[in-house]
Amino acid sequence: MSEENNISQEEELHGSTPVSGMYENWFLDYASYVILERAVPAVGDGFKPVQRRILHAMKEMDDGRFNKVANIIGSTMQYHPHGDASIGDAIVNLGQKDLLIETQGNWGDVRTGDSAAASRYIEARLSKFALDVVYNPQTTEWQLSYDGRKKEPVTFPVKFPLLLAQGVEGIAVGLSTKVLPHNFCEIIEGAINILKGKKVKLYPDFLTGGKVDVSDYNDGKRGGKVRVRAVIEELDSKTLVIKDIPYGTTTTSVIESIIKANDKGKIKIKKVIDNTAKDIEIQVQLAPNTSPDITIDALYAFTDCEVSISPNACIIKDDKPQFLGVSEILHHSVEQTVDLLKQELEIKKAELMEKILFSSLEKIFIENRIYRDIEECETWEAVLETIDKGLDPYKPDFYREITTDDIVRLTEIRIKRISKFDAFKADELMRKLEEELKETEHNLANLTEFAIAYYQKLLDKYGKGKERKTEIANFETIAATVVAANNAKLYVNREDGFIGYGIKKDEFVCDCSDIDDIIVFRRDGICQVTRIQDKVFVGKNIIHVGVFNKGDERMVYNMAYVDAKSGRSMVKRFQVLSVTRDREYDLTKGAKGSKVLYFTANPNGEAETCTVYLTASSKARKKVFDFDFSEIEIKGRGAGGNILTKYPVRKIQLKSAGVSTLGGVDIWYDEIVGRLNRDERGTYLGNFNAEDQVIVFYKEGSYELTSFELTNRYEQNQILSLTKFEASKPINAIHYDGENKTYYVKRFMVETTTANKRFGFISEAKGSKLIYASNSDHTTVEVVYKDGRKKETKEMDLAEVIDVKGWKAIGNKCPVQNVQEASMVKSDSDESDPEPKESSDVSDKKIDITSLKESIKHEVEEEDNQMDLFGRGKKKEED
């Protein structure tokens, strides 16, 4: 203790501080300074200090003309002691947001990433919007600048949520902030709704356009995220066009990411051309035999055509950082705006009352000729006393006492003004001032309505051209393994047990991508899934290897194996839907020495017939017999299987290929994301077999036949209807001919077979459009049409209007005109909404375990005497 006391006494004597304490204090001071004075905006006006000082300097310089940015930087440095570079970057950032600053010259382009010209070449001035909402010296709180020579605002009295409109991003010490920009008009509408007591939801809007999924936005708080996508259109079967890019990217970064993905083999393209000028246009030319739909998904999955942004709304409130949602920030801004409007009205009221007071004094002073009474006064005090005495009869009418300053102002009235005084004009002026005062008092009494009118005025004055640029949409999740291009080749060395894309001297299996999982089956009955690599050991004696698609219910494996424990040969059909990567699964009963005799992988659940050859020394009467795999059920991979025979098997050979034992695939159409799915989302289209197609009717009057691949993309805003194609049924349509200005009904059979190509079947004249289309025998429709100004509804049978004719026929005139919409009417006997049929898949059947065990026991006891049961479907699964 004595040593410690000596040390502390020595420190006090020399005035020293431990280094650890110095670091702690200085670091906290520095962190606080960066957070409060550099990186994080204030909730009051939405500005960082550098932005606030720029706008203050621009206001001091403002004369309505443009100023060189270099001059603005110099003026700002009187308030911001951090160098010209940071100020110049901040000015460019504000100017590119096109809200507070009007620009002249080359200010760069946020879309392409081009930087602005040097500050001496570009000019700026405050926008009218900035002058309207940012400045008011009377309600501004001031402070001294860093050197004490100038005054600068603590915060501006901003009457608009600039923080939400512009967005902000900053990194401080141990803290960061990211507030995304929101739509100008929606912000004002939200503020009005808050004043009306309604709930408000705001979503981001970006100058770069694109599409945004805000399902996880979380009000802009920490933990939320938005997914932003480029707008990609199909120019033709060989070319894609990117029209908008995601926020935070540039055309250069998007193109570089596409080239990088192509170099890695994730996508297959031939060329990328940047045609960006006034509008963004990036052409992506596809490699031969490449699907545009799959490539669009791959662009979203592997390039900057889709980015995920995590907002983090951190702002300075009450001199400390706080995390708020955008709705809370908007509420705070609205409350501040109402308070500022109240202050301005109170200031205006006081000014008006002062004007009325002095106008009244002036009128009394001149009309009652009080100025003549002061001619005989010899002292200044006598002059003031004389005037004051002359005003005595009128003092009770004034709202406050008359001060010496008021009397002095009267003495300053010039003789010229007195001689030309017009009582009528004075009364008219006072009447206008009183009306203005009355209006101001009314606004103060109805402050909420006044604030709503203020916001509405801003919307009417500045809202034009600030409509939403980013489309809000729901994005489907794209599985990278599904859309990745085949950029690798899978090889296998069956005997030594190696697979990979680097063993090119061995057996080629198939094309694949470098992110695929590979499923392997071995002779000892082991199944394993592993990630593809250059070369990986998976076990010797490989009998099958292929790309593993998780959850693929169509892939069925047929297998026969010998159980080492019982000596019986077993058969099974099974699926592998999900596994743990690199874990070994035993497909036999687990006895050591079991081995696979026969194995096939069937992508569509096919069940073949094979020939079983028993050994020559077996006691079986029939040593050769056929077995049909369709006679057994599809089970899980852990099932033991059915008994094929108890006798030794010499070999099993394929006799004939089988057909699928699975039913068709149930398909739904999700109108929100414009994709087909098997997850029961959206409208049920029907049960599809391999040869079935989808027919799409477009609003502009064409149809298209497509496959039912889940990777197909459909632009919902262009589609009138989408359904399963029935080739034997006619197309029933109501359309408008833009040339004849007439509505027609037509019915025809589809004669084309080409997939993924549009065929127009109505007039190509300007204004022509398709009102209704169906591919059905149901021809009764309910039509909504306009009769004068009224909307009427009528049912009609299209089959009675026209028979089925050729697709080129214009059709017969519709019995009613001005058709607004039409919908199919089904009879009571028809299903109002088709539902998927119950699956015929044998794996769905329920099995009585008790009866199963009894049949197995009976089977084992009598098998020796029943030689004709080999391989027949009467065998039951062994317990």
Residues tagged active-site? 121
Residue 674 · residue 713 · CB < 8 Å:
yes
**251-263 helix and 292-302 helix, angle to the nearest 10 degrees:** 110
Residue 191 · residue 161 · CB < 8 Å:
yes
Q: Residue 370 is encoded by which pair of tokens?
A: 């009080």
Segment holding 694, helix H or strand E: strand 694-698
Q: Nearest 5°: CA angle at 623, between 597 and 873? A: 65
Q: Nearest 5°: CA angle at 576, between 575 and 577? A: 105
The C-alpha atoms of residue 374 and residue 709 are separated, in whole angstroms, by 102
What is the longest distance spanned by two Cα atoms in the chain?
154
Q: Nearest 5°: CA angle at 790, between 789 and 793? A: 145
The C-alpha atoms of residue 279 and residue 423 are separated, in whole angstroms, by 63
Closest among 145, 101, 142 to 122, alpha carbons compared: 101
Residue 495 · residue 461 · CB < 8 Å:
no
Q: Residue 412 is encoded by which pair of tokens?
A: 């300053």
The radius of gyration of the chain from alpha carbons, rounded to an integer in Å, stands at 41
Residue 627 · residue 559 · CB < 8 Å:
no
The one-letter amino acid code at 477 reads T
The C-alpha atoms of residue 861 and residue 872 are separated, in whole angstroms, by 17
Q: Is 326 left (phi over 0), alpha (psi -120 to 50) or beta?
A: alpha
408, β-bridge pairs: none
Give backbone dihedrals phi and psi of 199, rounded to 5 degrees, phi first.
Answer: -80, 150
The C-alpha atoms of residue 43 and residue 333 are separated, in whole angstroms, by 8
Residue tagged 């409060």 (tokens)? 36
Give backbone dihedrals phi and psi of 215, rounded to 5 degrees, phi first.
Answer: -65, -25
Q: H helices of 62-152, where? A: 69-76, 84-96, 128-133
Query: Residue 855: helix, strand or coil by DSSP?
Result: helix
Residue 366 · residue 427 · CB < 8 Å:
no
The C-alpha atoms of residue 572 and residue 599 are separated, in whole angstroms, by 10
Residue 535 · residue 500 · CB < 8 Å:
yes
